[in-house]
Structure 1
């Protein structure tokens, strides 16, 4: 595996740490900025909004730009965004820095994945993506708890400075180790790719992904005050519990990625159901420190166990649009990362308490389960039509054979094209 791929993984570590670390920093940020915790939670939504807008926009805008120069510019802007956050004199500047950082993050994801794939042979694409997505998993295991630790001992701004330093290291790596990647000879046709949005299965996948992510983040975003104010744990426990969530996420990604190819809808149904039950248990037993800590690990596992299937489903139904498939999945995840914290903050503002955020998240997941059932029914009906279709009329174009794709153990793993026989899905990446 080229060293440059690991540099991209390091970059993703910085990106992922910045995206998720605020879950352990909300109380000190709220105190310092003189805002409520729900208002501080909107900083998580701000990053997610930037990802929603930036993923498809920058995926298209950078198609014809030099890959290495664009990566350099994006990681530079991201790093400067962390510095701006660390120096932010007020809430408004901090909010703006999160949006700018997210735009750069989304662009780096869209382009970095394509560069990683371009640097390795065809039979090593899944391994290359595993390294990149591994950076995100490690961010949840180490980066987020470290951010909480720094915030607890040196102030929340120290966490932003730390991510800024990691971004600078990544920048040096990009400049020195990423080779010049030639642009593809066949340029994507934007009009043809936009046609995927006429497919109702694409919109179902967007809604399912957004609800599945939002349901988890409605509670996870406020896990820190829930642990201290409801479960009665000391603030020093917050990094440990966040680390357990990340460890569960790492294990869940590995397990879900291994079985999603053959049992995609089974993973969706079982994973979302498990997350729903864990959130309900968290709402009921939030005052028990032991159960809350255990449920944080289990919730990390179930949420990321589902992620590979969520990614794969989008690539299956939008396989004709490799440029926008990954960007659409990224946008869908971050729609959830926007809506979840907003809903959780609304519940808190209505004086239902921090534990009620878990009920709100469970409600979102119940809706997601209903949409999965609808998608499965449509998929089954479509498969029967394809299987029973007779010979094509003379002169009609032949369908491409549906060959299975390489199995990936990452959240960006592509599922078997047999799930959608009329369309072969490329092994393209997407963020979690």
Structure 2
């Protein structure tokens, strides 16, 4: 995965570049999540309902998924360092516009544009970090970058809410505009030139899953576990309140524990995925299934909730790192294009997971949403076993043909 320019870097310079990309991921994800804790003051200030204000999150997520394959393909000849710098500049301007906007329409437009650049970052950012270091360190670089998502998940909503309590919601976005600028400067200073090398035209992007059976299986498997995870995670607060009658403060604490667990899972998988990627993913998916079953079995106690949430966070963090490496293994020569499709599928799966989980919760109670998650994560596990058997059968048939 490394380039000749990357291997020429000193270890310090290489990991400094990885740190700059990790900081970029942090500001992207916190920008995405912050409105969740600010909907009430934003809706009051801009005279819209809380439900309408929630479109700040929805629009961001939709644009992050739908636009990415096209933008990555259209910018396929742009140096990736320059492209990342532009993405961060747009993020800084978008947060500034949000902070100064006089009406909600302008805020929503800014969020839509920021969502597009967020999706592009997911397609190129992890790949850039993996190119900066020697090939045997690529998985660790990916783990470091993805830890930025875990930290952002832990801090995004509570930090935004805390700053708003001290000042106001506009100051919160103004500060994030400044942080986006800091990340921009870090990328300019620390990330070396990285010419684009694996992006392809739009028409070829959407042909990849048709031509590449292994990629198709990976995308299907990722969609299954993401559907299952978010089908439950979207409703975790009401589940906790209903099953164990926990306070809002304790729920916040458990969600922080979940985020920390995700960082731990990234770290562990970063050490094991190179040794055996398939086993690492199987263990992660098994952990997802078991953690959701524990929610149903012992989630009516605080200790039971804590155990389930810790295992859930660790497993989800490990699975997320595995899926990046699985995409690379399936499409090494078209990694950015494959990641753009994966980003689109991932975001669509988040939206569908929340929708389908809600349908199960409405019709079968909150436990129904958890059972939905169990079924989908178990299906991802079975798909992994099935794909291995198919690969083994194809290999055996190939050996038979060659021997004859």
TM-score per shorter chain, which class?
0.7 to 0.9
Tell me the alpha carbon deviations over residues 64-100 of structure 1, each in whole angstroms, 9 at most, x when there is no partner.
1244442222112223333455567787766554432
| 1:404 counterpart residue number | none
Decide whether aligned partners of structure 1 residues 229 and 44 sit closer, same or farther in structure 2, where only a CA change above 3 A counts: farther
Equivalent pair of 2:143/2:321 in contact (CA under 8 Å): no
Decide whether aligned partners of structure 1 residues 121 and 378 sit closer, same or farther in structure 2, where only a CA change above 3 A counts: closer
Q: 1:181-260 to 2 correspondence within 5 Å?
A: 181=193, 183=195, 195-198=207-210, 199-228=212-241, 231-260=244-273
The answer to whether residue 282 in structure 2 is matched with residue 269 in structure 1 is: yes
The answer to whether residue 323 in structure 2 is matched with residue 310 in structure 1 is: yes
Decide whether aligned partners of structure 1 residues 130 and 276 sit closer, same or farther in structure 2, where only a CA change above 3 A counts: closer
| 2:370 counterpart residue number | 358
| 2:5 counterpart residue number | none
Equivalent pair of 1:213/1:303 in contact (CA under 8 Å): no
Equivalents in 2 of 1:40, 1:214: separation in Å? 25
Tell me the alpha carbon deviations over residues 90-146 of structure 1, each in whole angstroms, 9 at most, x when there is no partner.
877665544322211122233334544555555654454344233223323444543
Tell me the alpha carbon deviations over residues 338-360 of structure 1, each in whole angstroms, 9 at most, x when there is no partner.
22222233445x36555543233
Equivalent pair of 1:141/1:250 in contact (CA under 8 Å): no
Structure 1 gap ranges (5+): 393-432
Equivalent pair of 1:218/1:344 in contact (CA under 8 Å): yes
| 2:379 counterpart residue number | 367
Decide whether aligned partners of structure 1 residues 74 and 27 sit closer, same or farther in structure 2, where only a CA change above 3 A counts: closer
Decide whether aligned partners of structure 1 residues 381 and 91 sit closer, same or farther in structure 2, where only a CA change above 3 A counts: farther
Query: Which of 130, 153, 160 matches 1:140?
Result: 153
Equivalent pair of 1:146/1:239 in contact (CA under 8 Å): no
| 1:408 counterpart residue number | none
The answer to whether residue 331 in structure 2 is matched with residue 331 in structure 1 is: no
Equivalent pair of 1:271/1:302 in contact (CA under 8 Å): yes
Equivalent pair of 1:120/1:128 in contact (CA under 8 Å): yes
Tell me the alpha carbon deviations over residues 314-338 of structure 1, each in whole angstroms, 9 at most, x when there is no partner.
3223234233222233333223222
Secondary structure (helix, strand or coil) at the match of 1:390 reads: helix
| 2:183 counterpart residue number | 170
Q: Structure 1 residues 205-214 or 82-91, which shifts more?
A: 82-91
| 2:61 counterpart residue number | 48
Q: TM-score, normalised by structure 2?
A: 0.79
The answer to whether residue 311 in structure 2 is matched with residue 298 in structure 1 is: yes
| 2:398 counterpart residue number | 386
Bigger proportion of residues as helix = 2
